[in-house]
Amino acid sequence: MKSERFETVRRFFRRAAAPEGGAWAFSGARVRGCYMLILSATLAQAGDLPSGRSADLRDILLEQVGSETWARFRFVSDELDEDVAQAGSEEIETDMAALCSGHALPYLKENALEAEIVVISVSDRDVSFGESDPQAVQFFEAYRVSDGSCQWEPF
């Protein structure tokens, strides 16, 4: 299963970072392919994760991908570094699943939003959506929302 996940990550990184055709800001101003809502980190602190690290929610992007709505929850954790990236992904996978079930799903429910796919990203620094930063440590996972829970979704 691990090799399947690594292949999934490889396929994910070959995809375009921003949706084709652009986005709309949540406020309604046209920006370029998803709806975007930026939350204050003080209002959106994820707190302690199963690994003991903490993460802050930086923004949420809603986009239409084919016939599905995707909700991207972008977190920053200054506790990530190259050592974490090289140590293995099991601990990060547990944190990301906790971010999906403990933060993304409740947010969607509280705000009467629906999404078929939730993408969780955690980075060691702010990286603008659609841009790359070779020095950033970043992890991405996708989950299908099924019966009110997050089910890992291979790309």
SS3 38: strand
Residue 122's CB: how many other CB atoms inside 10 A? Answer: 25
Distance (Å) of CA 111 to CA 32, 104, 125, 146: 23, 11, 27, 18
- Report the pLDDT value the prediction gives residue 146, as an integer from 0 to 100: 94
- Report the pLDDT value the prediction gives residue 8, as an integer from 0 to 100: 42
Q: Which residue has the higher pLDDT, 149 or 18?
A: 149
- Report the pLDDT value the prediction gives residue 91, as an integer from 0 to 100: 80
pLDDT tens-digit profile of 119-147? 999 999 988 888 888 888 888 999 999 99
Q: Residues 6 or more apart from 112 whose CB is under 8 A from it?
A: none
Pull the structure tokens for residue 8.
């999934």
pLDDT tens-digit profile of 35-50? 444 433 333 455 678 8
